Structures are given as structure tokens and as C-alpha cells.
């Protein structure tokens, strides 16, 4: 890709985005739908009383009309890694061509430039459309839609997450009834884990205490008696690793 003039390149990207958005709206009817995006699952959902449409997305950045500033998602510590990682490719592109606006994390800007940044992101990442929700504080969030997700797949993705009062929306984890946030009771796992690690479709975070481990070994596995003693419960990933930190003395 040979590019010498940023303004000309951004203008071309805007023109391409307009055509892409027209095509997206013809394919997917989201005009009257309610929207919800979830950083944990990486899904953008549009729903009506009759239908639900799900898409994978990544977050480009945000524009504040109050401060008249733009912030790239890769610069925003409140944006989860899984939905901001693709935007780092835009930064790398900017560094290659010495385009400062694509490499500075936070700076004075306007809404038109925010759309330029989004249009550039769509082109470079090969998105299928964009969406710009506005949060309760009036902050404009610019999202690039990357692919359509059928409802069954979306449901399977969503089922791996749970809402938590302390950690918002995180992946599901399973712990025995004895693990807690106050007292060390030992921490055994089905495999070694670190927070934020990728899991296969077959794996879950699972942990149990020393007493459960003693019974499990005596029963030669997770027998009915061992499972009855453990009485597994569902917690979020954040709570799981908080318990692990307590028991292993890293907190």
C-alpha cells in the first residue's frame, strides 16, 4: 500500500465507508432495534421483540463532545484487551507512514475526524460496517463490525459469561462451596491457570479446596460422594482469581 498524503487517504476511506454502510443497512435491518455491546464477549447485539442480530466487533476509540478530544481504544485502560487489540494495527500503520493522528493516544479532535479514524480502521481491518453508540455521559463510542454471528453461536459465547456485582461481566468459573475470600482452605485446579488466559471450548476454570481434594483422591475421582461434598457453585473469573490469590498467598 503506497500512501503519501494522509488527508487524501482519509477522504478515500470515508467514501468507501459510506458505500459499505449502505450495503450493511441493506443486508441487516437494525434501524428500529435496541443495541447492546459487551466488551467481555466482544459481541454487538441488536434486538427487537421478534429478532436478534449478533456481530463481532472491535472498539476503535471514543470521542468526547464535552472535552472535544479523541482517545484510541488501545490507549484507554478501561477498554478490555480483546476488543481493543485490533486497533493497535491502526497505530502500527500510522507509525509506518508517520501519521501522528494514528499514533497519539489522546488529543484534541472533532467528530468528523473520529469518523475518519473509524473509516481508516474499517479499511485496514476489513470490517463489514460500523456502529456508533453514545453512552450515558454523552461519550461517542466508535465500533467496527467485523462479522455476523448466528444466534446459536452467540448464545454459546454468552453462556460462558456471568454478571458479577464486583467484576461486572466476566467469564464463568466453578469453585467448591468451601473456597471464599476470607480464609485459606487450599486451592486445587484441574489445570494451571492465569487470569485472562485463553480457554478452549472444552475447558473451564475449576477449583476446589484441600478437603475436597482429600475426598476426591480417596474416592479415586469425582464420585457422587465427592461432588456432594464439594457442591460446586458458579462465580466469575475475577472472583475465582481473587480466591486463588488469597489461598496461594499472592494477595
How much is the pTM?
0.79
**pLDDT value of residue 169:** 85
CB-CB neighbours of 10 under 10 Å: 21
Residue 168 pLDDT class (50, 70, 90 cuts): confident
Question: Are residues 39 and 82 in contact, defined by beta-carbon separation less than 8 angstroms?
Answer: yes
> Residue 227 — φ and ψ, nearest 5°?
-65, -35
Do 113 and 89 meet the contact criterion of CB atoms below 8 Å apart?
A: no
What pLDDT is stored for residue 167 in this prediction? 87
Cα separation, 171 vs 220, in Å, equals 29
pLDDT confidence of residue 198: 84
From residue 106, give the alpha-carbon distance in Å to each of 62, 64, 101, 134. 10, 11, 9, 19
pLDDT band at 225 (very low <50, low <70, confident <90, very high): very high
Give the pLDDT band of residue 3 (cuts 50, 70, 90): confident
Instruction: Classify residue 1 as exposed, middle or buried by CB count within 10 Å of its CB (0-12, 13-18, 19+).
Output: exposed
- Is residue 1's pLDDT more than 90? no
Per residue in 50-75, pLDDT tens?
899 999 999 999 999 999 999 999 99
The confidence score (pLDDT) of residue 244 equals 97
Q: Residue 26: is its pLDDT beyond 70?
A: yes
28-51 tens-digit pLDDT: 999 889 999 999 899 999 999 989
Long-range contacts of 97-100 (CB under 8 A, 24+ apart): 97/3, 97/6, 99/6
Residue 99 has pLDDT above 80, yes or no: yes
User: CA–CA distance from 211 to each of 178, 186, 216, 226 (Å)?
Assistant: 9, 8, 9, 10
Residue 250 has pLDDT above 70, yes or no: no
Percent of the chain with pLDDT over 90: 84
Report d(CA 156, CA 201) in Å as an integer.
10
Q: Are 63 and 139 in contact (CB under 8 A)?
A: yes
Residues 127-146 pLDDT 10s: 999 999 998 888 999 999 99
CB count in 10 Å sphere of residue 16: 14
Concatenated DSSP letters of 38-103: ETTTTEEEEE-SS-EEEEEEEEEEEEETTTTEEEEGGG-TTS-HHHHGGGHHHHHHHHHHT-GGGT
| Residues recorded for the chain | 251
**Percent of the chain whose pLDDT exceeds 70:** 98
Cα–Cα distances (Å) from 102 to 15, 48, 242, in that order, read 19, 36, 37
Amino acid at each position: 500500500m503506497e500512501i503519501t498524503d494522509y488527508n487524501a487517504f482519509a477522504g478515500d476511506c470515508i467514501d468507501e465507508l459510506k458505500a459499505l454502510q449502505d450495503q450493511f443497512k441493506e443486508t441487516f435491518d437494525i434501524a428500529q432495534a435496541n443495541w447492546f455491546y459487551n466488551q467481555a464477549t466482544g459481541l454487538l447485539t441488536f434486538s427487537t421483540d421478534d429478532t436478534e442480530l449478533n456481530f463481532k466487533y472491535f472498539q476503535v476509540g471514543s470521542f468526547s463532545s464535552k472535552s472535544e478530544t479523541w482517545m484510541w481504544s488501545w490507549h484507554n485502560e478501561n477498554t478490555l484487551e480483546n476488543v481493543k487489540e485490533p486497533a493497535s494495527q491502526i497505530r502500527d500503520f500510522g507509525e509506518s507512514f508517520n501519521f501522528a493522528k494514528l499514533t497519539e493516544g489522546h488529543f484534541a479532535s472533532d467528530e468528523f475526524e473520529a469518523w475518519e479514524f473509524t473509516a481508516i480502521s474499517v479499511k485496514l481491518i476489513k470490517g463489514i460496517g460500523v456502529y456508533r453508540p453514545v453512552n450515558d455521559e454523552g461519550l461517542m463510542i466508535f465500533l467496527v463490525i467485523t462479522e455476523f454471528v448466528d444466534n446459536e453461536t452467540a448464545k454459546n459465547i454468552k453462556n460462558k459469561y456471568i454478571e458479577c456485582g464486583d467484576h461486572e461481566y466476566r467469564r464463568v468459573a466453578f469453585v467448591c462451596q468451601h473456597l471464599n475470600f476470607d480464609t485459606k482452605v487450599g486451592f486445587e485446579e484441574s489445570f494451571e491457570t492465569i487470569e485472562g488466559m485463553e480457554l478452549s471450548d472444552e475447558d473451564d476454570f475449576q477449583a476446589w479446596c484441600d478437603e475436597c481434594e482429600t475426598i476426591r483422591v480417596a474416592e479415586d475421582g469425582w464420585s457422587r460422594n465427592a461432588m456432594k461434598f464439594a457442591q460446586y457453585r458458579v462465580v466469575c473469573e475475577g472472583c475465582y482469581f481473587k480466591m486463588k490469590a488469597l489461598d496461594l498467598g499472592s494477595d
